Chains A and B, each alone.
Chain A
């Protein structure tokens, strides 16, 4: 089945630093999504990407849909303590069959920000 490799698994950074994380896939996706999960809560959608090469920002967050359609990147600039959480990438394929429309999730990147 489809797999997403998300890296790094965890990051420990100082407040004010920039953060980069990425996901790579063994197959092509038509949609890439980035979620943030805070402790004890469900993931919340941060950014959605629908076209290869697309670059989208949401405040201090910027994400890109890779040209090969097999990868995506999320950058966080000037991190603050409330950025702490688990960040998940997710991809959707428009291939047929029972997987149609279902998201595949990465393993998550645990972000810790030291004040």
Chain B
């Protein structure tokens, strides 16, 4: 079955360490997105990519980095420069501008101690 997979589901890291969250999709979608969600809050866009080898900053890109070397994969690195990294991270994909909305992964909960 086609879908979008985020791993791991739960991640614990020490303060000051970089950590990479995985996002893989087999939907043949061109566009991929990373969102951050804090408890009881909405979705804030971190980065997005509309095509391989290209990506754009979202509203809260500081302290994060991404790569898009393959169509299927869009990993997110949370760097030590991110001041408050503990959050729920959601990856999504879509067919592009005329697609039927986004398909979301099941999320990764990152806790930094």
Query: Taking the complex as formed, is B28 at the interface, i.e. its CB lies under 8 A from any CB of chain A?
Result: no
Chain A 74-107 against B: per-residue CB contact (8 Å), 1 yes, 0 no?
0000000000000010101010001011110111
Question: What residues of chain A lie closer than 8 Å to B56, measured between beta carbons?
Answer: 98
Among A31, A42, A106, A107, which residue has its beta carbon within 8 angstroms of that of B104? A42
B42 in contact with A108 (CB, 8 Å): yes
Query: Taking the complex as formed, is A67 at the interface, i.e. its CB lies under 8 A from any CB of chain B?
Result: no
Tell me the smallest distance from the CB of B23 to a CB of chain A, in Å. Answer: 11
Query: Taking the complex as formed, is B100 at the interface, i.e. its CB lies under 8 A from any CB of chain A?
Result: yes
CB proximity to A under 8 Å, residues B54-109: 56, 88, 90, 92, 94, 96-107, 109
Question: What residues of chain A lie closer than 8 Å to B105, measured between beta carbons?
Answer: 42
Question: What residues of chain A lie closer than 8 Å to B11, measured between beta carbons?
Answer: none
